[in-house]
Amino acid sequence: MKMFRSGPMAVGAFILVIGFVFFAAWWRDPGHVSEEGDATAALPPISSDPSETPVIDITNHLNLGQVPNDKPSVHPLRVANKGKAPLVINDISTSCACTTGKIDPVKRTIPPGGEATIEVTLDPFRVPGFHSKKMLTVFSNDLKHSSFEVIVESDIQPEFEVVPPEVDFGVVAKGETPEKTLRVRQLQDAPVEIQDIALNVHATPRSKEHNDLTATVAKCPEDQWKTPGKVEYEVKIQIRPEAHPGTQERAIYLQSNLSRLPMFHVPVKAQVTAPYTVSTAEVPLRPSPAGLYEGKVSVKSTEPFTVEGVTTDPGLTTKLIGPQDGTILIDVSAPMAQVQDEMEGYVLYSVKIAGGTYTDYARLTAKELKALPPKAQ
């Protein structure tokens, strides 16, 4: 009986041993490690002596300085082997297609004491600005540093400058409408034309109508240009009374005639103070068990207040809930039967508190929710 029970155990142990042997053989097979999908690249055998292994030697930061804005530029990145076994560069990955690394396949196996060059290419047409800081990852058979990260930094020759480069309104009381001005100056011979300003990346007529900011651009008189022949534009940015309470980090986007920079991002910041807070400036409408698309705006304060004058898009319904524990909810809903296309909507309202009235709004979004028909009068 004892022998009968040990038989299956012995067979199982034999199968495990055989499996381990085959796995070890596959793992040591150099064919499963490759560069850029080449499964035929062979790795040299690794010595059992830890001192006789490859050791990669490469900088962790490469500064390319200023590069041209009209063509890709190539820069060398030295990689050496300080170990006692051949070093194999298996692959080079990037965090952005604007910055890539490449090594000659013939030279990717580096003997002990040898070195090779990785060609780093920066494409300025993939950089939406004047500064780039990306990461290359070099994969090798170095046991301690099988993946080595290299920061690649560069400045792209600027076609124009924005002064100041960002706008900070500081502390703004809700309802105030301060204004800031910046200058856009052409720097190179290529003509620069600022054609328009967008208040978000995917600007729509309604997003201009309902926003925390307004912005205008005008070409400056030629006698005000800092450099003769180099055009300048004046951009005016203003906080709207509807700007939401709290820290606001927005941006304007300069739309230009430049093929490399059709849209240029300028950060805008403000700290808007008010005697109340709101939960969010953007409300996603989501399916609910009630068969509706629903979302809520939460208005809070430690002082007594009311929410009045709530309006929204035709076909949407709003309902006030509260006050409760210093909170009033604006419930927004739409029939699920209307789900077909994407929608952009708004809910507008006023907050009466501490003797003042403040206008506010929230943007409504619902994926695949079509514009709704007007309510019957």
The predicted-structure confidence for 283-331, as pLDDT tens digits, reads as follows 888 888 888 889 999 999 999 999 999 999 888 899 999 999 999 999 9
Expressed as residue numbers, the domain containing 229 is: 160-273
Examine the pLDDT at 86 and tell me if it is beyond 90: yes
The rounded distance, in Å, linking the Cα atoms of 182 and 166 is 9
Of the candidates 140, 156, 172, which is a domain's last residue?
Answer: 156
Is the residue at 46 inside a domain? no
- For residue 33, being part of any structural domain is answered with no
- Do 247 and 198 share a structural domain? yes
Q: Is residue 4 part of a domain?
A: no
Whether 180 and 234 share a structural domain: yes
Q: Is residue 60 part of a domain?
A: yes
List, for residues 22-54, the tens digit of each pLDDT value. Answer: 444 444 443 333 334 443 344 445 555 656 899
Residue that wins the pLDDT comparison between 199 and 118: 118
CA distance 327 to 350: 14
Residue 338 DSSP one-character state: G
The enclosing domain of 143 has a CATH number of: 2.60.40.10
Q: Is residue 30 part of a domain?
A: no
What is the number of other CB atoms lying within 10 angstroms of the CB of residue 170?
8
- Number of domains the chain is built from: 3
Using alpha carbons, select from 167, 162, 101, 97 the residue that is nearest to residue 129. Answer: 162
Average pLDDT in the 345-373 region?
81
Closest CA to 292 of 336, 337, 342: 336
Residue 315 exposed, middle or buried by CB count within 10 Å (0-12, 13-18, 19+): middle
Average pLDDT over residues 141-158: 96
Evaluate whether 235 touches 171 at the Cβ level (below 8 Å). no
Q: Are 158 and 187 in contact (CB under 8 A)?
A: yes
Q: How many residues does the chain have?
A: 377
Whole-model pTM: value is 0.75
Domain-located, residue 99: yes
Pair (242, 300) in one structural domain: no
Q: Are residues 79 and 147 in the same domain?
A: yes
What is the CB neighbour count within 10 angstroms for residue 143? 13
Taking the C-alpha atoms of residue 166 and residue 320, their distance in angstroms, rounded to an integer, is 39
Average pLDDT over residues 70-86: 96
- The secondary structure element, H or E, covering residue 141 is none
**Is the domain of 136 the same as that of 191?**
no
Identify which of 346, 377, 343 has the alpha carbon closest to the alpha carbon of residue 361: 346
Between the alpha carbon of residue 115 and those of residues 56, 118, 145, 149, 298, the distances in Å are: 10, 10, 17, 18, 62
- Bridge partners of 226, per DSSP, are none
252, 164, 265: which is closest to 211 by C-alpha? 252
Q: Give the domain-ending residue among 223, 244, 273.
A: 273
Residues 262, 283, single domain; the answer is: no
In the prediction, which pLDDT does 49 show?
A: 60
- My answer on whether 358 and 282 are in the same domain is yes
78 or 212: which carries more pLDDT confidence?
Answer: 78
Return the closest-CA partner of residue 121 out of 99, 137, 151, 97: 99
Share of the chain above pLDDT 90, in %: 68
Q: Are residues 269 and 282 in the same domain?
A: no
* Least confident segment among 233-237, 358-362, 371-375: 371-375
Determine the Cα angle at 324 with ends 319 and 328, to 5°: 40
What CA–CA distance (Å, rounded) separates 112 from 86?
6
Asked, for residue 200, whether it belongs to a domain, the answer is: yes
Sort residue 296 into left (φ over 0), alpha (ψ -120 to 50) or beta. Answer: beta
Residue 252's contacts (CB-CB under 8 Å, 6 or more residues apart) are 197, 198, 199, 213, 215, 235, 237, 266, 268
Does the residue 344 lie in any domain?
yes
Same domain for 150 and 71: yes
Q: Do residue 59 and residue 148 come from a single domain?
A: yes
Distances (CA, A) of 307 to 40, 205, 300, 357, 363: 70, 27, 10, 10, 17
What integer pLDDT is reported at residue 166 of this predicted model? 96
Kindly give, in sequence order, each residue whose CB lies less than 8 Å from that of residue 321, ignoring residues fewer than 6 positions away.
Answer: 328, 329, 330, 331
The verdict on 150 and 176 lying in the same domain is no
Is pLDDT above 80 for 251?
yes
Write the CA distances from 273 to 27, 72, 247, 258, 354, integer angstroms: 62, 47, 9, 38, 14
The C-alpha atoms of residue 110 and residue 116 are separated, in whole angstroms, by 7
Q: Which of 123, 156, 189 is where one domain is finished?
A: 156
Element holding 114 (H helix, E strand):
none
User: Based on the domain organization, do 88 and 125 belong to the same domain?
Assistant: yes
**pLDDT digits over 259-283, tens only?**
999 999 999 999 999 999 998 888 8
